[in-house]
A and B are shown apart, each in its own frame.
Chain A
Amino acid sequence: MFRRPREDARALVRFTFDGAPLEAREGDSVAAALLAAGVTACRTTPVSGAPRTPYCMMGVCFDCLVVVDGVGNRQACLVPVRDGMAVESQRGKRELGA
């Protein structure tokens, strides 16, 4: 659970997560935007199906893997969120072609 600062001069960005409309700020990574929006799992693991959320926020743990605009296996902590972006949770392994 996280909250944003009261004052944030950065521009508003609108994106979706699993189809639900969410708001972020320009300069947020997708991972930061998801955490600030209260998302409880950005992926499930390929082995046991356990839910995961971003763990390291610096590109090393790969627990923030999501599907961004149809492309799977994207590290949400390394992708800046953009207006109109469609982010989906990644269920298990990346589907080929996604």
Chain B
Amino acid sequence: MSPGLRDEYDVAVIGAGPAGLAAASLCARAKLSTVLFDEQAAPGGQIYRGITQSPLADRSILGADYWAGEKIAREFFASGVQYVPRATVWSVTAEREIGVSTGGGSRLLQAKHVIIATGALERPFPIPGWTLPGVMTAGAAQTLLKSSGIVPDGRTVLAGSGPLLWLLAWQLLNAGATLDAILDTTSRESRARARTHLPSFLISPYLLKGLKLLRSVRKRVRVVSDVTQLEAKGDARVQSVAYATAAQGAPVGMPVDNLLLHQGVVPNVNLALSIGIEHRWDEEQLCFVPVLSPSGATSVPGIYIAGDGGGIAGAQAAAWRGVMSASDIVRAVNPEAARRAAKAARTTLEHFARGRKFLDAYYRPAPQFRVPAGDTLACRCEEVTARQVIETVALGCPGPNQMKSFLRCGMGPCQGRLCGLTVTELIARERGVSPQEVGYYRLRPPVKPITVAELAELPKDDAAVKAVVRI
């Protein structure tokens, strides 16, 4: 258990990605007692993963956008914030009592304000065979590269859609990896629908960078466009990927050793939902997103969500969204500093908001890659198939929480992180209603598995003991 933790803080920040680092820095500089809990051993979150300890000496491998994270990390360490790495926050109550596990022991503490900066995770990509060893997310391969310099070896195929897929391809090529193919699942429908957002994309900060990246990758890797079907095949591990395209209906097989999947990122909602923070289905981003004020204030007083956990807007925006939330809190002690910070944040956020709608529409994942069929696993933990979910809806099971009782989907250790959206969308389609109406798994603390021993060892006051001990 981390020594030196206080019982009370002005501000507790959860997550050390750009949003959390920027938010904590601003609060600590304003002399608010600020603690930041993060699950990883070093700061950076996923986008700046390994920023203080990456073994990659050649900076051109990951690119300038990655190394921009250094400045954020440096400011964070200089700010006077209490940084607690390798800490798992497993509970936050609406009264802002925080349950945190560090070094195998847990404790509770109280915060006047909480900023949740738990970011995003990759959207589930439930294709046949996606649980086979040798299949992993593009983000996972990127983490291996950033934090350990490790690159895929053997026949490697990237499949899916979205900016991160191309960025990873570019970074892996820079690091000397060989990529056999990119199977691009971006659909014709999505590309056509994105056209209405083209004008704002043309003046956005993403256009030039994106085109340069795409060109550079396309020169060096075979790209198969309009992929409409994907299947990972193999016995004990993936041996081939079969794909079909819009132009050519019959599936084609390609031998692989590594299959890297990606179709965008979605907010990591588990902690926020467990607090009871209001969320809505976002039909553009196809995920549940918390209902937030411009500064990231949630429906629960004193609790903010900053960064991609509040809806996907990207890494650069995330840091400024952290500033927005922090300035709202800092206002009470230093109104001038808060005003200045918020003003700078608003201007920059407008800049980075330009073109996002185009990206959302263009890379909108096709329905067949979000809503699986047949024996494809929807829930990886409890190994529940799409067919089982569909048949259970037919029995009259109306939502994901009832589905848990029938099939145990969402009840494994990942607590629905890898199946929540899939199961909601499956049920919604079968019932012919919107995902908003179907809703999401009801989440409860602990939002990360901890042992019963850890819970039992929590310090208890007299009232708590009296409540359960018979005399």
Decide: B133 and A41 in contact? CB cutoff 8 A. Answer: yes
Decide: A63 and B55 in contact? CB cutoff 8 A. Answer: no
Decide: A2 and B175 in contact? CB cutoff 8 A. Answer: no
Decide: B133 and A56 in contact? CB cutoff 8 A. Answer: no
- The tally of residues in B whose CB lies under 8 Å from a CB in A reads 47
Residue in contact with B152 in the complex, picked from A1, A50, A59, A78, CB distance below 8 Å: A1
Looking at the assembled complex, report how far the CB atom of A57 sits from the nearest CB atom of chain B, in whole angstroms: 4
Cβ contacts under 8 Å, A12 to chain B: none
Decide: A7 and B57 in contact? CB cutoff 8 A. Answer: yes
Cβ contacts under 8 Å, A61 to chain B: 380, 414, 417-418
Cβ contacts under 8 Å, B136 to chain A: 53-57
- Chain B binding surface SS class: loop
A63 to B125 Cα, complex, angstroms: 15
Chain A residue with Cβ nearest B119: A58
A42 to B55 Cα, complex, angstroms: 25
A62 to B449 Cα, complex, angstroms: 10
Chain A residue with Cβ nearest B137: A56
B28-51 interface bits toward A, Cβ cutoff 8 Å, 1 = contact, 0 = none: 000000000001110000100010
Cβ contacts under 8 Å, B137 to chain A: 55-57
Decide: B53 and A1 in contact? CB cutoff 8 A. Answer: no
A58 to B149 Cα, complex, angstroms: 16
Chain A residue with Cβ nearest B412: A62
Decide: A78 and B258 in contact? CB cutoff 8 A. Answer: no
Decide: B139 and A57 in contact? CB cutoff 8 A. Answer: yes
- The A-contacting residues of B in range 51-69, CB under 8 angstroms, are 53, 55-57
Cβ contacts under 8 Å, A21 to chain B: none
Decide: B412 and A25 in contact? CB cutoff 8 A. Answer: no
Chain A residue with Cβ nearest B136: A55
* A27 sits at the interface (CB 8 A): yes
Decide: B175 and A27 in contact? CB cutoff 8 A. Answer: no
Decide: B53 and A41 in contact? CB cutoff 8 A. Answer: no
Residue in contact with B149 in the complex, picked from A1, A5, A51, A60, CB distance below 8 Å: A5
Decide: B413 and A73 in contact? CB cutoff 8 A. Answer: yes
Decide: A41 and B56 in contact? CB cutoff 8 A. Answer: no
* B148 sits at the interface (CB 8 A): yes
Knowing A50-B383, A51-B236 are in contact, say whether A78-B86 is a contact too (CB < 8 A).
yes
A33 to B106 Cα, complex, angstroms: 28
Chain A residue with Cβ nearest B140: A57
Residue in contact with A2 in the complex, picked from B39, B144, B237, B413, CB distance below 8 Å: B144
* B210 sits at the interface (CB 8 A): no
Cβ contacts under 8 Å, B152 to chain A: 1-2
A3 to B167 Cα, complex, angstroms: 20
Residue in contact with A60 in the complex, picked from B258, B417, B449, CB distance below 8 Å: B417
Chain B residue with Cβ nearest A81: B148
A55-85 interface bits toward B, Cβ cutoff 8 Å, 1 = contact, 0 = none: 1111111110100000001000110100000
* B249 sits at the interface (CB 8 A): no
Decide: B151 and A3 in contact? CB cutoff 8 A. Answer: yes
Cβ contacts under 8 Å, A51 to chain B: 133, 236-237
Knowing A2-B153, A4-B149 are in contact, say whether A56-B237 is a contact too (CB < 8 A).
no
Residue in contact with A32 in the complex, picked from B131, B150, B268, CB distance below 8 Å: B150
Looking at the assembled complex, report how far the CB atom of B105 sits from the nearest CB atom of chain A, in whole angstroms: 13
Looking at the assembled complex, report how far the CB atom of B139 sits from the nearest CB atom of chain A, in whole angstroms: 7
Interface centre among B50, B149, B257 (most CB of A within 10 A): B149
Decide: B39 and A59 in contact? CB cutoff 8 A. Answer: yes
- The B-contacting residues of A in range 26-50, CB under 8 angstroms, are 27-29, 32, 35-36, 40-41, 45, 47-48, 50
Knowing A41-B133, A53-B136 are in contact, say whether A36-B383 is a contact too (CB < 8 A).
no
* A9 sits at the interface (CB 8 A): yes
Cβ contacts under 8 Å, B131 to chain A: 50, 52, 55, 63
Knowing A40-B133, A62-B381, A78-B40 are in contact, say whether A27-B53 is a contact too (CB < 8 A).
yes
Decide: B150 and A56 in contact? CB cutoff 8 A. Answer: no
Decide: B382 and A47 in contact? CB cutoff 8 A. Answer: yes
Decide: B150 and A4 in contact? CB cutoff 8 A. Answer: yes
Cβ contacts under 8 Å, B143 to chain A: 32, 57-58, 77
Decide: B236 and A63 in contact? CB cutoff 8 A. Answer: no
Looking at the assembled complex, report how far the CB atom of A3 sits from the nearest CB atom of chain B, in whole angstroms: 4
* B122 sits at the interface (CB 8 A): yes
Chain A residue with Cβ nearest B381: A62
> 17 extra interchain contacts, Cβ-Cβ under 8 A, other than A32-B144, A53-B136, A56-B136?
A2-B152, A5-B56, A5-B149, A28-B147, A29-B41, A41-B133, A45-B381, A53-B133, A55-B135, A55-B137, A55-B140, A56-B122, A56-B139, A57-B143, A59-B40, A65-B413, A73-B413
- Residues of B at under 8 Å CB distance from A? 39-41, 46, 50, 53, 55-57, 86, 121-122, 131, 133-137, 139-141, 143-144, 147-154, 175, 236-237, 257-258, 268, 380-383, 412-414, 417-418, 449
Closest 5 CB pairs of A and B: A57-B140, A62-B413, A1-B154, A53-B133, A5-B149
